[in-house]
Structure 1
Amino acid sequence: MRIAVELVPKTYEHLQEELTFIQRALPAVDTINLPDLMRYDIRSWDACRPVRDILPQNSPIPHFRSIDINLKKPLPFAENLLEMGIKEVIVVTGDPPTDMSKRVYPTSCIDAIKKFKRELPEIQVYAGLDPYRSSLRSELEYLERKQEAGAAGFFTQPYFDLRLMDVFQEMFEQSECHNMPIFWGVTSVVGVRSRRYWETRNRAIFPRGFEPTLEWNREFVLKALQWVRERDSNIYLMPIKVGIAEYLDGLL
């Protein structure tokens, strides 16, 4: 079982503070996910270096957006990844910038995975798994295509209901991908506006008893950890709108 925490690299100072807290208070964490968000200056692969410095035993996993990748040119960050000894990455499609100030490309997630495997065969590539995107059957078929392209495992969109996790896992075990590792996502949704965002933008499903409070979210982390432990799987925890200490202190 692997336990990952997703940290948004807003500034190097903020990232170092969060990593230091993990080093001191969350010894069970062995993996750090690093999303690549265009509104911040630090790229995901550059954020791997502080992880290496502060948590040398942890595995940093930078995110890459397929729409940022030009299929006609070599991967510009390949040398950096190899120099830092990065063994794993996540490839997602990504959302185009609202003002189109940054150039993007019509590169699909499938094509981006193939390019990574062709140019960096020593690096494992994880892909996204979104149970809310369409039907569960369609999502499983999409996962099988990602597997054929070279994906080594999957990171899910965050779940808020163990029953939905049960349903998807049962279907996943019947697919061609059944032997591949999954990192089950859990995030903090605190406040009515935050819940509305997840329901509207990501089409997330919340259980009837959900409460947009820190207490409910912390309790769900414990339930999800137990669920994952019983299935010998993996989990990633994503603090949003709350500090990492506020969200996870005392739970790991």
Structure 2
Amino acid sequence: MAGKQAGRAAFSGARAWFRRHEQTLLIINGVNIALLFMLYFFSVATHASTYAAAGFVSAFAAVLAAFIFATVVWKGLVPAIMCMLGIVLVHNAIILPYYPPSVPAFPEVGVSSPSAAEPSAEVSAMVATGMHFFLGLGMVGFAMIIAYRPGFLFARNRPPPAEDQWARYPVWYDNVKLVGDHREPMVPAKSLMEDRDRYLAWRYEYVLAKIYGAPHLVRPLGLVPEKQTVFVRDDETGLLVGKVRHSGYFT
């Protein structure tokens, strides 16, 4: 039990650290992506075939890719999976030039000798390597956008979320207001509703009402001033206007 609590505490601490340093992590990820670019172009340009160079480049690329993945994995399953697939493609594209194909990848029709087919195999491998690298890099970038800046993917002029339209109204917490030197009598909100309103009250988490001339969100089972409460109704249907309790119901 103590071990689980310690693990949860460590995980929560790590998440808090990542949140505090998001901007720094994005900058470091940009540097890592630039280094991966350099490794890729170095691999393509040198065509080195020594195992020592291949091992060093592979290890360096793996470290860079692992850091990028660590900064994305805590943001959710979808960006983590997308980032993992992307860095695998990027790493493979960096390493493949060190292991040139020994046989043609796509045998040409009508090739008379094996030597004539070798350039085609090398070109095909390089084209595939480039496609893998830029596809993987695109997936990594898309994963980082989902993780850190998902707003970039939202359409402009989209309707605001349903919660936002009610955020500007204060909630009435069965307050008792003074009217002159007397207290306003408080009654259940349902007692001021019509029969059809009481029948549909289960749909609402809050209903909109003007209390002392100011709009408030009122619980259907709450208490409101008897003479200073006017419920807001829809102009077309005449039903109460309010925040629905269960999604899928529109009033």
TM-score w.r.t. the length of structure 2 is 0.17
Query: Does 1 or 2 have the higher relative contact order (CA < 8 Å, sep 6+)?
Result: 1
Larger Rg: 2
Higher strand share: 1
Higher helix share: 2
TM-score w.r.t. the length of structure 1 is 0.17
